[in-house]
Structure 1
């Protein structure tokens, strides 16, 4: 899935398994970007818009087997279409930097590869909904599955449906993200999330300084 720049803004997605620390790193990167005077919009998937947030509850709460992979993917893309239309595209047109906690790579990893729906079906949905409006840069936070499940389990919130699918499924998800990164090295950067928050944040900034130095310049 190729994703050329499609607007005057800049679109960054964070991906990775549960517990990898995406939310924390997104906040730190957003603050660094705001210090350069840029408008930064933080959003998430599923969610990020009124329709997307309504669908989020359906997807993330309840029994692990509540939905089949095809049902999950269709719900994800319904939410994504609303998210793009109402949040992401307007912000990019204003010239903002949009940072999203998950985007289309999560559907490919969780439903397409780990969920056995297959690449073809997910790619078809991607082409219908996203096309050339995907991220300019994707940061994949990589963490061993057991550590990720330990961290995410400590939060105790209700959105634990995917975590409850178990370590074997989560390992498939991890390998799926790494495979996506291998296929699209120009868009994706894998960053180890095993170390402390500051160390991980430093690695992310190094990626941006190397690939898109204009983002962190005043």
Structure 2
């Protein structure tokens, strides 16, 4: 009998149906890990710039997934949303806000104007521009605060983001730049001023942000193959908001 035969015939344990020798080489050794309590901690390898763009659904969803993952490890996280002030198809309280409120270490703020830019919904260009400019000002304040904090150390999970954060998500900032509400150079200036150990995540834009290709460490395109919006389906509670 070969070593492979031995592995395949090994008796399973209470960790599951896979043979013991197979489970031995998995991270959890075949046993489902139990969750730890969330305690303040500091990341050892943060400091990159991520950009998520494209015509497909999933850019904000991906950034929120990372945000909750980081918060689950006890890192301080903040979400600053551009251009998401609501619309007649979206309730004012999105599901992520309720989830964020229930998880230690992660906070959010929404700076968007009601309606969506260039959607013929009666909102004024200048109002959208003013909101986007205000969000950019706030982003600079948060980066400056992170620069004044020691991000190699744990941060209080209940502290205001002005005390520093380990991960900052600027949701739809790339779309604001694509729409001309803020300047692309302002986005590059944010990256340039970023503290070395702050993880910065930028989302938005259906147009490739080529100006970011050198400045960002990760650039992912979320490509649309098919979308229910094209068939007239409106935003659905629990999936789009």
* Higher-RCO chain (CA-CA 8 Å, sequence separation at least 6): 1
Q: TM-score range by the shorter chain?
A: 0.3 to 0.5
TM-score between the two structures when normalised by the length of structure 1: 0.43
Rg larger in structure: 2
